[in-house]
Each structure stands twice: as C-alpha cells, then as structure tokens.
Chain A
Amino acid sequence: MKVLALYSIKGGVGKTAAAVNLAHTAAEEGVRTLLLDLDAQGAASFYFRVRARRKSTVDRLLEDRDRVQRAIRATDYEHLDILPAHESFRRLERALDAVKKSRSRLARMLKPQRREYDLVVIDCPPTLTLVAEAVFRAADLVLVPVVPTTLSERTLDMLRREFKEQGLPRERLRAFFSLVDRRKRLHRDMLEDLPRRSKVAFCRSPIPVSSDIERMGLGREPVTRFAPQSAGALAVLELWWEVRRALGMRD
C-alpha cells in the first residue's frame, strides 16, 4: 500500500480537485484506493456526495481503529472508497496533540488498511503544524500543487526547508503546476524556469486552469468521470502516470 498526500499551505490552488481526480483515475485502473479527507472543509467528501457518520468524530477515530473501519464509505465508483471529513476535523490539530506519539499516529492508523487498499490519497488541510508533520511521516509521496507565480516559489521553498528540518527525505516531496493559464506570459515563463531553479522536483504534467475542473462542484463528479476527454482530465491522467512511477507502483 502506498500513501500519496496532496498538500498545500495555501488554499484555492487546486489541491482537493487533484486529490479527487487522481484517486478516481487510480481506481479506474483497478487500483484499490482510499481517499482520506482530512480537510475540515470537506470539499473532497462533497464532490463524492458522501457525508460522515455523526459518530465518526476525530477523537474517536484517533483512539479506535475499528472506528476508522466503520467510518470508511463506498463512493459511486468501483475500487474507490472515502473516509469523509467530519466537522470535528477542525479540531484535528488539538486532538492529535492530545494523543501519544502524535507524529506517527496517522501512519499507524493507516497500517491496517494495507489488506484492503493499494493506495491511500490524503487531502490535507492547509496548515504547517503537527497535522502536516504527521501526514509527511505517513506519506510515501507528498505532492504539492504550485500555481506559477513568484509567491508560490517562495512558499514551496519554505516547505522544502521544513522537510529538511524535520529530517525527511527530499525525494518524498514533489511539486506539480496547477491552475496553469498558458495565455499568461508569467505562467509560461515560470513553467519553463521554476523546475530548473527549484530544489524541489517537479512533475512534467501541468494541470491547466479549466472550466471543466471548475464545473466539478456543480456536477459533484470527478472531471475524469464526466469529461474524460477534456484537457483537464487528460492532464490528470498524465500526472497520475508520473505519480504512479514515483510511488513505484506497477503499470
């Protein structure tokens, strides 16, 4: 079982859409996938129309593995289940701090899922605190959406230093361009220059800003489902191939 985390310290960069679309694409290939919606806003859960059980609160999930089992629900797609966000996930930071061995807690929580899933995709909350640290430790690959702007470059570098301070391997961190608008000069330049400059490895497939992806919220379906031939969906597919290779999963 491999763990892929979608992480961004900034909101609105296409992180949740990427998590949803990548998870769906993997499942379509027959990879048994669990999407873990840790973002209290619950956008990923919303896309899949799944509500959390009332009792699946963050405190219970952290203390009881059986709770985790019961909190997982099927999506409408084969091979794809989700652990939906519960409103209590807003307290995730505090709850995690309250338990022993907080930093490795998430990794241990996921361990029993090895029997049922080949891949766990985590949609992380936009924080750079204990939760992020726990996710970084649990993940085999931390994938960071980067909108091609100057500010994003600085944020990415901050994250790289954070990884270094925590003693995490740099290979675990990977960036991809998100919300790319090729009509903008700046975007085209950044696409060209940033991967060369940055100490963080970049995926080669940028995800374009796309009306189809924006429409995901209306139809509440992954773009790879309702418009599989759209530029957005095809970009996701190429990104998935790169991620799959980076995770060392079979073609």
Chain B
Amino acid sequence: MARNQREKMWLRLDNAAKIFPASMRRGWSNVFRLSATLREPVKPTFLAEAARRACKRYPSVCVRLKRGLFWYYLEETGAPLPKEEGCQPLYPMTRAEMGKCALRILYYENRIAVEFFHALTDGTGGMTFLKTLVLCYLEVRYGKAFPRGEAIPDPDGAATPEELEDAFLRYAGKNAVPRDPSPAFRLQGKPESDGFLHVTCATVPVKEILALARNKGVSLTALLSASFAYCIAKLQREKVSPEREKAVRVQIPVNLRRFFPSSTVRNFVAVVNVGLEKGETDADFDEILSLVHHQMALLITPRNLKATFTANVKSEKGVVIRLVPLFLKNIVMRAVFDRVGESSACLCLSNLGQVVLPEDMAEQVTRFDFIIGPQAMAPYNCGVVSYGGEIRISVVRNTREPELERVLFPFLSSLGLDLTLESNER
C-alpha cells in the first residue's frame, strides 16, 4: 500500500511545559480554556472543517502527549472532533485523553471553546489558535474570506520554525535567581463531592476599571492583584490566629513575548509572585496597591524575568537530570511543583489583556472568556480577558462555599465598579 502520509511531527516539551505532565494527578491537570461567543449559533459541521484547517496551521497545538524513556514528548495528531459542551468547563483531562489529543474543541449555542493542556501552549498562543479557529469558522460559515489584518496569521500558511521553537532556550542567560519557597496562605474549603467546578464571571466596563486604575496610578493587573491580596488577607484574618498567619501572594504569569521578541505559539511565560509577606497582612488597600505596584515594577523587568526562566532552563540542562528515567523525574518534579510552584502563592491571576480582532470579524464575535482550572492543592484561580469594551474576570473554585467571591466582588463594587455577575451555580 502506498504511503502518502508524511511522518508525524514530534516535539520535545518546552521548558515551562515539562512540569505540567509530571504534576498531573487523579482528577487534576493543568488545563485552561478560551472561548469566543459569536452572534449566531455555532454549526458543528462548519466548526469541524474550521478545526481541521486551524489544527493543520498549528501542528504544535493539535498534539497528543506521549511518554519517552527520559522525557514526555508531543506528537502531532489529527484535529479533534468538536463536541458539544458537557456539564462544566474544564472537565478533568485524563492521561488516556491526553494520549489521544491534549486539546478539546467544544461548542455550546453561540460559543466556540477550546480547552488546552498547558503543556501545549500558553494563554497567548492559545488565543492565537482560537482567533484562527474562529476566522476559519467564519470563512467556512459565510463562504467568503475575512480580512485578517496583522492580528491573525495566515490560516492556510505553514507553521514557521519560529512558531514551533522553545523560546526559553533562545533567551536563557547565565545568571539565575533562586526561587522563593516560603509558603503562602492556602485558601481552603469543603470540596465538591463530584469535583464540580464553579465559574463566576464578573463583567466590568473596561473604561471604568481603567479609569480607576489610572486614578490610583497603577496598572489594571496591579489593581486586580491588590484586590485579591486584600480580600485573601481579610479571609486569613477571619480564619487564622495572628501567630499562624502566612504570606498572601498572588501569582501573575507574564507574557515574555513582550520583552523577548518571539512568535512562538508554545509556552513562553514566566510567573512572578506579588503580595504581602508574613506580618504585613493587616495593611489597608492603598498600601497593598502601592506595594503590589512597586513589586511588579521590580520583578517584571527583562533582566529579572530572564534570570527567573534561566533557573528553570539550567535545571533542565543538567546531565544528571537528563539521564534520570522519566518515572523518577516525575516524582522529583511533582515534589518541586508542590513545594515551590504552588505553595508560594494563594492563587494565580492570569490577565490575557485585550483581544483585538479585525473589524469584519469583530462584528461577528460578541465576547471572549478565559478560564484557568483551579490549582492542584488550592481551590481558586482567576482568568481575565477584555474585549469589546468589557473586561471579564472569571473566578473558578472547586469548593462548595464561595468564600472568596463573597468578599472580592462586593469589594470591587465598593471601589465604584459596575459589576454584573454570571455563574454556572447548579
């Protein structure tokens, strides 16, 4: 039988991705979700065709996770068949599912959603994929070409080597900064017996929140991080005696493409922790805001970010580590993840920024949502994205009581923001 098919492409995991398969556990994997809501109901047959085009364009995104002797790797696979959304977003992705395809394409009424295992790409890469998928869908749906401008790469082009590169390796320097392992306060609660994920999305006009941030002299991310830190510190004071108080930190992923030019669609992100150290947790909001603002200015610099990811690249490059079999690596990496990765912050606040679409496409797309799954050991996380004059703050939790939401959203309202909430409460 003639073999016309080319050999399937395979990729090493990028530097940031290496931790994600190792840290997976039963009922939890590091998955995030991006969705676009259209004006009209989504037609699955058109979406399947669009998925085929988009997946062909981004072979590094449409992959499955495979085990090697020493490392995991990604292998190109066909486009997944779009499925109608189930009961909840970010339903845990099992190893078996990732072994087939570590990407889900879903639809529900007017919404197209893509759920990514974080080892495939980061929020920016995921958004590029989603925008291309939506463009392909609209082109198939309406049978005409949509001008794509500079915001979206050519969906019929081929993936460039720059898009597939592990940009960490290109930019890693010599100096590394040690990680801060001191533990932060851990939000807790009674977990849902069936693992249900609650999503509460607050919609705020961008103008309002930007005006507030400018009025305070800080960035939008700093304003939100400080609000989270303030509310978590308040919860900690209610729950824990002063002697047992811990640091209250918020983890902020930083898109490294802003500082190190790269067009990669794989992970290229570093995280910084901002917030209150032990003993500072009784600070008022303006103090916290100022603290967070200055911490961000100090930490989010090309030099510091480079030193942050250089530490990770160095640990990946060690000969001894490379020669250790995968199952042993997994044990060590998971311990490191639990000790350093998660415990040093209370939650992760990922702000994807503003989504820009070409004018013709923007007429067809009414909203974007960005949700990140909860942490492995802590119940909360938060994804932020703005589009069409509105910013959406999606807080997820896997516990029963909305303790943080009850403090956070009224607090944001008290700052003068006009919040509208929606949730999947059942």
Indicate whether A and B interact.
no
Which A residues lie at the B interface, using CB under 8 A?
none
Which B residues lie at the A interface, using CB under 8 A?
none
